[in-house]
C-alpha cells in the first residue's frame, strides 16, 4: 500500500497539526494523564484517517477486452434505464456507485480506449445518493470509446466532497485500470452504458476499483 500523490499536502498538514495538538495538551494537561489520553485518542484517529483516505492498496487487477471494470470502490446504489442528457442525449443504462469517506477514492478507467469528451461542471453539493446529484452537483464527465463500446464516466462531488480531480484529456489513449482521477472526501461515480449491455452487478453490491466486473460488452 502507498499514499496517493493528491494526499501528500493533506497528510503533511494533518501531521503538523497533530504534533502541535500533542505539544499543547501535554503542556496543559501533562499532569493529568487520563484526560491527556482521552483527548489524544480522537485526534490520533483523525490523523490516521487522513492517511487512510489517501491510501492506494496493492491489488491483483482484473482485465479483459470484453469486461467493464469498476472505476472506484463503493456500493452500487442505482441500476436503471435513463436518458443521458449531456453527451449521448438518448436512453442509456445507468450504474451508480456511492463512495463513502472510508473507501479508496482513486478513480480508474473501466475500459481501454480513446477519450472522446471531457467536461467539468460547477454545481451544488447535494448528498451523493440524491437522485439529482448526477445532474446538479459539481461533476466531471469523461467519455471513452473503443471498438466494442462507448462509456460515459461521471465523477460527482457529494455533501462532503468539494474537490474533483480529473486527469483526462480529449484524444488521450487510455488503459483499463489506468488512473482517471480522484475525488476528495466522499462522492459517487456514475457509468452510462448502451441499452442492452449485460450488467454483472446488482444494487447493494460492494465493488472494488480495478477488481470488480461491472458489465460484459
Task: Give the per-residue pLDDT at 92.
Answer: 98
Task: Give the per-residue pLDDT at 31.
Answer: 76
Helix (H, G, I), strand (E, B) or coil at 103: coil
Question: For the whole model, what pTM was predicted?
Answer: 0.80
Task: Give the per-residue pLDDT at 165.
Answer: 86
Note whether 189 and 97 are within 8 A (CB).
yes
As a whole number of angstroms, the distance between CA 13 and CA 11 comes to 5
Alpha helices, H only, 54-146: 133-136
Task: Determine how many CB atoms are found less than 10 A away from the CB of residue 41.
Answer: 10
Task: Give the per-residue pLDDT at 24.
Answer: 85
Task: Give the per-residue pLDDT at 11.
Answer: 81
As a whole number of angstroms, the distance between CA 108 and CA 97 comes to 13
Task: Give the per-residue pLDDT at 69.
Answer: 98
Residues annotated as part of the active site: 187
Strand partners, 91: 83
Per-residue pLDDT of the chain (217 residues; tens, 9 = 90+): 687 787 778 789 989 998 998 888 878 776 778 888 888 888 888 888 788 777 888 889 999 999 999 999 999 999 999 999 999 999 999 999 998 878 888 899 999 999 999 999 886 555 555 555 555 678 899 999 999 999 999 999 865 555 788 999 999 999 999 999 988 766 889 999 999 999 999 999 999 999 999 999 9
Note whether 151 and 110 are within 8 A (CB).
yes
Task: Give the per-residue pLDDT at 131.
Answer: 52
Task: Give the per-residue pLDDT at 50.
Answer: 81
Task: Give the per-residue pLDDT at 34.
Answer: 81
Amino acid at each position: 500500500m502507498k499514499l496517493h500523490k493528491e494526499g501528500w499536502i493533506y497528510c503533511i498538514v494533518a501531521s503538523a497539526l497533530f504534533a502541535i495538538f500533542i505539544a499543547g495538551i501535554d503542556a496543559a494537561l501533562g499532569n493529568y494523564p487520563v484526560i491527556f489520553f482521552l483527548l489524544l485518542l480522537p485526534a490520533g484517529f483523525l490523523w490516521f484517517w487522513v492517511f487512510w483516505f489517501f491510501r492506494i492498496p496493492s491489488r491483483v487487477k482484473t482485465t479483459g477486452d470484453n469486461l467493464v471494470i469498476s472505476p472506484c470502490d463503493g456500493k452500487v446504489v442505482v441500476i436503471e434505464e435513463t436518458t443521458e442528457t449531456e453527451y449521448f442525449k438518448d436512453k442509456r443504462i445507468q450504474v451508480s456507485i456511492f463512495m463513502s469517506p472510508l473507501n479508496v477514492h482513486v478513480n480508474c478507467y473501466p475500459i481501454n480506449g480513446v477519450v472522446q469528451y471531457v467536461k467539468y461542471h460547477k454545481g451544488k453539493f447535494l448528498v451523493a445518493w440524491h437522485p439529482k446529484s448526477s445532474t446538479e452537483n459539481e461533476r466531471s464527465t469523461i467519455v471513452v470509446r473503443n471498438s466494442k463500446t462507448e462509456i460515459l464516466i461521471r465523477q460527482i462531488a457529494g455533501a462532503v466532497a468539494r474537490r474533483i480531480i480529473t486527469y483526462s484529456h480529449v484524444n488521450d489513449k487510455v488503459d483499463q485500470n489506468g488512473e482517471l482521477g480522484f475525488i476528495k472526501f466522499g462522492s459517487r461515480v456514475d457509468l452510462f452504458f448502451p441499452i442492452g449491455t449485460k450488467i454483472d452487478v446488482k444494487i447493494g453490491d460492494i465493488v472494488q476499483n480495478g477488481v470488480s466486473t461491472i458489465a460484459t460488452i
